Amino acid sequence: MSGRWTLDARFLRGKMRLLQLDSEGKLEVRELKSSYPFYFDPLKHSAEEMSRSLIETPFVVEVSIEDWLMPPWYDSRKELVKVEVDCAPCFKKIARRIESMGIAKRLNLQPSSESLALMRMGITMLDWEGKDPWRLEFDFPPLRVMQIKDISPDDALIASSELTTSGVIDRNIEKIRKEKIGSQAVGEFTEGHHIALIESRWVTCEEVYAPVCIEEHGNPVEDLIGLMELSRLSYSNLDETAEKSIGKILTDIEAMEAVNRRMAVPQARLRGDAWRGIEELLEGDSGGLVGLPRPGIYENVLQLDFSSLYPTIIAKFNISPETINRPNCERSLRPPGSMHEICMDIDGLVASTLKRLVDRREKIRSMNGWMNSRREKALKWIMVASFGYLGYRNSRFGSVPAYESVVSIARELMRKAIVVASQAGYEVIHFIVDSIFAWKQGKRFSENEAVELKDMIERSTGMKIKFENVFRYLVIPRTEATVRRGAPNRYYGVTSEGRLIVKGVKCPEIDGTFIPRDLENAVLQVLLLNEHPRRLCFQLSSLLNKSDISKEAMQKNTISL
């Protein structure tokens, strides 16, 4: 690649300072003239009158009037006042004053004025100049990355790596005593690196000499490549992305799409919940379909999962706050099991944004390269958050009826899947929201049978199904309340390739470990005889640590990019 690759953007008065790398990884500082937009909905005066009064306000360089679609239904238009300022932090105090006096209300607070400035200038974070943030290719110049991570109360690891699109090269890891590390030593370790990743209680970014420093993660994305993927899509710096929740990153992406459509982004969700009786409330918010399985051990169990079930439902059925129970809708549908009608006259904002994200995740999953699994995992977290944010009370694009519609459709799809599997001669021993466990007593699944069952469910439901696991042994433990029922949210097992699966109990150090054949019976004994889930991880770890093969399989890289 040639040109410049944008590593970081800092917003100064009247200009934007870009940290960019050339194709060889050499850092350059570039400053561009820039202003930052603020949007006001006039309350006391007309847009023309307000624009005339604002033009003389400090920090304002330009005022204009724009026509925007207004929430909640986006079926009406209004003139908003757009103010371009040369100092966003300075003008925020004036904007708060304007709101407190009841003169106008701010809209489009998300995405930030800085993100809007980047988009307008055609600058894509963590990409080469002139590229679309949604393009699938992900290439970058050599990056020198420093990671600092606690591994014990007394020791830490400092790793220095060169990161390229083909992988990690020249990786050096040093174990050091914490008392030997002072701010000067940390500076010496990190000087000359592009990015510093800090996962430590004793080192802060103030002690680090690196153009970009990430001190802590505010979301579950744990690796640099995943953060880079989300940073690109949300027009945010890496350190800002790491501090944001997954829900806020999703809202940034949705809000960017709203701004592109000239749909005004509200400060908060505008529509409250209508009053409903207890029966109606229980019917509308009954959650996903979860079975009450019989406890025991089952051989040769096939686990099939709906692929990105909730986001796919949102995208496929056009579910968005402005499409649910929309007034004056000409074309609407009521999915099976739903209490609400969905309007098909318009493309829902949430639905179309998630469709784009779902399609992107599927395409990245099919691509080769060491980075793509990490990018796909980051997008998976967006998928996980997308459904919950529909019902979240502080979500700008939230709606309880939309949330309920997704759940009701998901329940109906799971019922169809259960019926299809049962009619095909399988016993559905368990189901959990988007997973179904099919079993034939005393019979192994052939590859053709598994593919046939998958295809039958896909044809019946119209949704994509993926093979999650084939278990040699699946253990469903008893609940503490009764010995007759199995735990609905816990299961353990060993897959056909020998991996240990532990769900419903947090055992990250052993989940996915490959089990040697000579330990398999002992592992199953622990799974069957375990009396309390909190003891399970310790018991399994103690057993697996006795095997050198298992120890090697359990060891994970203590510092991961």
Q: H/E element holding 272?
A: none
Residues near 84 by beta carbon (within 8 Å), at least 6 away in sequence: 35, 36, 37, 38, 60, 61, 62, 63, 64
Residue 333: both structure tokens together: 């549908």
Helices (H), 158-213: 183-190
Distance in angstroms (rounded) separating the CA atoms of residues 492 and 468: 14
Hey, what domains does the chain have and what are their CATH numbers? 1-34+124-267 (no CATH), 35-107 (3.30.70)
What's residue 553's pLDDT?
44
Q: How far is CA 143 from the centre of its chain?
A: 24
Q: Which helix (H) or strand (E) holds 341?
A: none
Taking a C-beta distance cutoff of 8 angstroms, is the pair 217, 147 a contact? no
User: Which is it for strands 500-503 and 15-21: parallel, antiparallel or unpaired?
Assistant: unpaired
Cβ burial 119-146 (10 Å sphere, 16+ → b, else e): beeebbbbbbeebebeeeebebbbbbbb
**Alpha-carbon torsion angle 84, 86, 92, 95, nearest 10:** -40
The span from the CA of 63 to the CA of 45, in Å, is 15
For the sheet containing 5-12, what is the strand order? 5-12, 15-21, 27-33
Q: Are strands 212-214 and 195-199 parallel, antiparallel or unpaired?
A: parallel
List per-residue pLDDT tens for the chain, 561 residues long.
568 899 999 999 999 999 999 988 899 999 999 999 999 999 999 999 999 999 989 999 999 999 999 999 999 999 999 999 999 989 999 999 999 999 999 999 999 999 999 999 989 999 987 778 999 988 899 999 998 888 888 888 888 899 988 888 877 888 887 777 777 777 777 788 999 998 888 888 888 888 999 987 767 887 899 999 999 999 999 999 999 989 999 999 999 999 999 999 998 876 666 666 666 666 666 778 898 899 889 999 999 999 889 999 999 999 999 999 999 999 999 887 778 899 999 999 999 999 999 999 999 988 978 889 899 999 999 998 888 888 887 788 988 889 889 999 999 999 999 999 999 999 999 999 999 999 988 777 777 888 999 999 999 999 999 988 889 889 998 876 555 678 888 899 889 888 888 888 888 777 788 888 888 888 888 888 877 787 888 888 888 876 654 444 434 444 667
Burial class (CB in 10 A: 0-12, 13-18, 19+), 152: exposed
Residue 541, both tokens: 């770890």
Q: Give the pLDDT confidence of 141-174 residue by residue, as tens digits.
A: 999 999 888 888 888 888 889 998 888 887 788 8
pLDDT of residue 549: 44
The helix-helix angle for 309-316 and 349-365 (nearest 10°) equals 130
Say what the pLDDT of residue 508 is.
74
Sequence-separated (6 or more) residues with CB below 8 Å from residue 454: 304, 465, 467
Residues 201-248 have pLDDT tens digits of 888 888 888 899 998 776 788 789 999 999 999 999 999 999 998 999
In Å, how far from its chain's centre is CA 77?
32
User: Comparing C-alpha atoms, which of 222, 180, 183, 232 is closest to residue 199?
Assistant: 222
| Cβ contact 446:439 at 8 Å | no
Tell me the C-alpha distance between 165 and 369, whole Å.
8
Q: What CA–CA distance (Å, rounded) separates 201 from 203?
A: 6
3-state secondary structure of 147: strand
The arrangement of strands across the sheet holding 465-476 comes to 427-432, 435-439, 296-306, 465-476, 491-495, 500-503
Contact (CB, 8 A) for 117 and 37: yes
At residue 49, the pLDDT reads 93
CA distances from 258 to 68, 251, 397 (A): 10, 10, 10
Q: Is 385 exposed, middle or buried (0-12, 13-18, 19+ CB in 10 A)?
A: buried
CA 229 to chain CA centroid, Å, is 10
Beta strands 5-12 and 104-107 are: unpaired
Predicted confidence at residue 459, as pLDDT, reads 94
What is the spatial distance between Cα 347 and Cα 261, in angstroms, rounded to a whole number?
A: 11
Q: Is 154 exposed, middle or buried (0-12, 13-18, 19+ CB in 10 A)?
A: exposed
Residue 443 in tokens:
């019979």
Q: Please name the residues in contact with 399: beta carbons below 8 A apart, sequence gap of 6 or more.
A: 269, 271, 320, 321, 324, 390, 391
The conformation of residue 181, written as its DSSP 8-state character, comes to: -
End-to-end CA distance of the chain: 23
What phi, psi does 282 have (nearest 5°)?
A: -65, -35
3-state secondary structure of 54: helix
Contact 391, 398 (CB under 8 A): yes
